[in-house]
Amino acid sequence: MKRSGTRIAPVVACIITMLCVGIVYMWNVFQQPVMDHYGWERTAVSFISAVNLFMFTAGIFLGGLIADRKGPRMVNLLSGILFFAGLFLTSMLPVGAPWLIYITYGVLGGMGVGLAYAGATNCLQKCFPARRGFASALATCAFGTSIVVCVPIARALLGHGVPFAFRVLGAVLGCIVLVCSFFVVPPGAAERAVPAGETDPVPAAKRDRVNYSVGEALRDPRFWFMCTPLFFMSVTYMVVNPIIQTLGAERGLGPGVLTTTAMLVGIASAVSRFIVPTLSDKLGRARSILVMTVVMMVCAILMIFARGAAYPVVIFLIVCAYSGPAGVYPAMSGDAFGMKNCGTIFGLAFFSIGFSSLFSTWMTGVIYRATGTYTWVFVAAALLCLVPLVCLSVYDRVAKKRDAKRAAEWDAEEAAASEE
């Protein structure tokens, strides 16, 4: 793969790509129009959001695997093809086969978005080796901003019919992603050099020491201390996201407030995805995620009572608490395991979100059917936040021990080699 001579072109291409593919978090905008157009019951489409998010995480893993070996350009080419195919085929569904939307929008669309996310994140991390949190922030902030940009466009297109909306979105956004993919190429060595005034967290002389293989990462407790919080703290968001509009309407919110809430979701996602990862460069990765976990736990309880003006505020905070850490984890993975296989390792860790979406949908259904209310769903989500609090509290201590152990092993190997 030919290297780019500057990081301006790949950075701009990655940001534009991420602005196009945030549709993975917009099913709550499409759900009711799709049900009305095809005459489907809610139960027929209840798992689409979960399937879409699971395939999104599968796409991140596959994209990371390909990017580590072939580079991010190939990843983004595949993402553009799958993204276009998923949305365009969704516009052609027959009325009598609701299961097909799980394949088109859920599998193909979700996989395409995940590939784009992985390619852009991989490229940006290599553009800013000394500021991985900032690099993650650029990618994930653009991803979050996509909701602000795409929601009003999608609503306007849906006014012309569901098939028309999916055709236009698939054709336009898919083509933009394909064009941008030709510029998603990491810069050459000179451009990747750490600029004056910045400090590389991993000095070049020691960089090979922290380039873990995938197998080594899976045997490292830090990997599982990353996956566990990612799974459990995502539950509250996964519970709330598909029902933001319907739950708000049940609690007496008018169309104006619900529209404002939808816009706040996009703003919260964009702002948090930029601020939290950037601050994590200074505050530390685990500490930043720990703060967001506390916010998530409190908001899960507040959702039991939130009505009126409080409802969009609590939703805003939940989205912030979910989106911010999502931008920290790519940098956290690079810090712990090095950049050589970071895309693959981070992709494996991100499967936690996919499994969390499936678990959350199942948990919500079981508890709601048993109690007839979301109160105990939110109580369960709050209690599950205790698990990441414990993991994140000890993460830094575990990391220091693992780094010290690996450094000692390398020093011993170098000493043995010098004696020979």
Average model confidence (pLDDT) across the chain: 83
Sign of CA dihedral 335, 336, 337, 343: negative
Per the CB < 8 A criterion, the answer to whether 354 and 114 are in contact is: no
CATH code given to domain 210-406: 1.20.1250.20
∠316-319-323 over CA atoms, to 5°?
140
pLDDT value of position 192: 44
pLDDT of 241 strictly over 90:
no
Q: What is the percent of the chain where pLDDT is above 90?
A: 25
Which positions ≥6 away from 103 have C-beta within 8 Å?
none
pLDDT value of position 388: 93
pLDDT value of position 143: 79
Instruction: Determine the average pLDDT of the residues in 216-222.
Output: 88
pLDDT value of position 188: 56
Please, which pLDDT band fits residue 35 given cuts at 50, 70 and 90?
A: confident
pLDDT value of position 302: 96
Instruction: Determine the average pLDDT of the residues in 205-220.
Output: 72
Identical topology for domains 1-187 and 210-406 = yes
pLDDT of 2 strictly over 60:
no
Residue 345 to residues 66, 257, 331, 334: CA-CA distances in angstroms?
A: 12, 41, 11, 9
Q: What is the percent of the chain where pLDDT is above 70?
A: 88
Which CATH superfamily hosts domain 1-187? MFS general substrate transporter like domains (1.20.1250.20)
pTM of the entire predicted model: 0.74
Q: What pLDDT digit, counting tens, does each position of 343-357 carry?
A: 788 788 888 888 898
Domain map (residue ranges) of the chain: 1-187, 210-406
Coil, helix or strand at residue 187:
strand
Q: What pLDDT digit, counting tens, does each position of 165-210 carry?
A: 999 999 998 899 999 888 888 765 434 444 444 455 444 444 445 6
Both structure tokens of 99: 């299961």
Q: What pLDDT digit, counting tens, does each position of 123-139 carry?
A: 887 777 667 667 767 77
Q: What pLDDT digit, counting tens, does each position of 310-335 carry?
A: 999 999 999 999 988 887 887 888 88
- For 85-140, give the secondary structure using H, E and C: HHHHHHCCCCCCCCCHHHHHHHHHHHHHHHHHHHHHHHHHHHHCCCCHHHHHHHHH
Amino acid letter at 308?
Answer: G
Question: Among all chains, which residue has been given the structure tokens 């995805």?
Answer: 273
